[in-house]
Amino acid sequence: MSDLEQRVAETIRSRKMILPGDRVAVALSGGKDSTVLLMILCRLLPAWDDVRLTALTIDEGIHGYREDTIHSAERLVGKYGIDHIRISFADLFGGSLDEILKDRQSEACSVCGILRRKALIVAARRAGATRLATGHNLDDEAQSVLMNLLRGDLPRLVRDSSHSSSGQFIPRIKPLGLVSEKEIATYLMLQGAWVDLPECPYTLHALRREVRAMLSTLEYQYPGTMLHLMESKRKIKGYCGEETLAGPIRSCRECGEPCSGEICQFCQLRQSLGR
């Protein structure tokens, strides 16, 4: 087992991310992070008691981008022989992301994120999943911390969806959360699995793009910056408490799904899109 695989196994074990009998749905976009996540989970699978994996691929409908990554996802599940559920925005929401955005392209990532989260929940339920694993890495997580701080969004900063004591939602796990983007790229190259994939055209509009560039520079000049950001989040949450900052989890007035306000983000978006 490689050093990276051992570290991911240790993260999963120490944080009790996967337990015997779990049905783990793996969000597989076909990009680098989710590819590495699925590869490592498939390698660890024989050591776990009665754990089953199902890959979930959401086709947002982004012309010139998603075709290649979906093809890559299909090749991977074929290689490992695991179940695969594929759902498109067009099937679920009546249109592709390209169609839904029209003249709202500057909001692409927030619209895409809300709809993708919804699509993943639908797909994970279809898979009978008890956990939903995503390929977020350390860079993604540190970027999210900084973005939430820049927006003054403390509830989102501390909200933890990795456990659900009330059973209101499928717990989300991020086994690569302490693995950097560079380590993921290196792993793919060493495994001979590196594939050049196109970049989403909407990243041009994302605040994340600027935060990512800034954090990469800082991490290069001051190694450990990203881990320190994660530590800051943990301390803020520890000192103030999740419920104090984020409030209790309620049920959306419209759809009944768990949310922090009266209406969930999905229902708010659906209303604003007039769908």
Residues within the interface to ligand SF4 (CB under 6 A): 108-109, 112-113, 200, 202-203, 206
Smallest gap from residue 24 Cβ to Zn ion (A): 25
Q: From the centroid of its chain, how far is CA 191?
A: 23
Smallest gap from residue 228 Cβ to ligand SF4 (A): 26
Smallest gap from residue 114 Cβ to ligand SF4 (A): 10
267 binds, among Zn ion, ligand SF4, none (CB under 5 to 8 A by kind): Zn ion
d(CA 258, CA 252): 6
Q: Is 255 in the site for Zn ion (CB under 5 A)?
A: yes
User: Which token pair is 65?
Assistant: 């981008």
Q: Is 252 in the site for Zn ion (CB under 5 A)?
A: yes
Tell me if 118 sits within 8 A of 266, measured CB to CB.
yes
Q: E strands within the chain?
A: 23-27, 52-59, 83-88, 131-133, 172-173, 250-251, 258-259
255 binds, among Zn ion, ligand SF4, none (CB under 5 to 8 A by kind): Zn ion
Residue 198: count of CB within 10 angstroms of its CB: 12
108 binds, among Zn ion, ligand SF4, none (CB under 5 to 8 A by kind): ligand SF4
Residue 109 or 188 with smaller CB distance to ligand SF4? 109
d(CA 188, CA 204): 25
Smallest gap from residue 120 Cβ to Zn ion (A): 15
Q: Is 264 in the site for Zn ion (CB under 5 A)?
A: yes
264 binds, among Zn ion, ligand SF4, none (CB under 5 to 8 A by kind): Zn ion
**Alpha helices in 131-224, H assignment, sequence order:** 138-151, 154-158, 181-190, 207-221
Angle between helices 181-190 and 32-44 (to 10 degrees): 60
Residue 119 or 178 with smaller CB distance to ligand SF4? 119
Residue 64 or 256 with smaller CB distance to ligand SF4? 64
Q: Is 269 in the site for Zn ion (CB under 5 A)?
A: no
Tell me if 58 sits within 8 A of 92, measured CB to CB.
no
From 39, 138, 157, 267, residue interacting with Zn ion (rule: CB under 5 A):
267
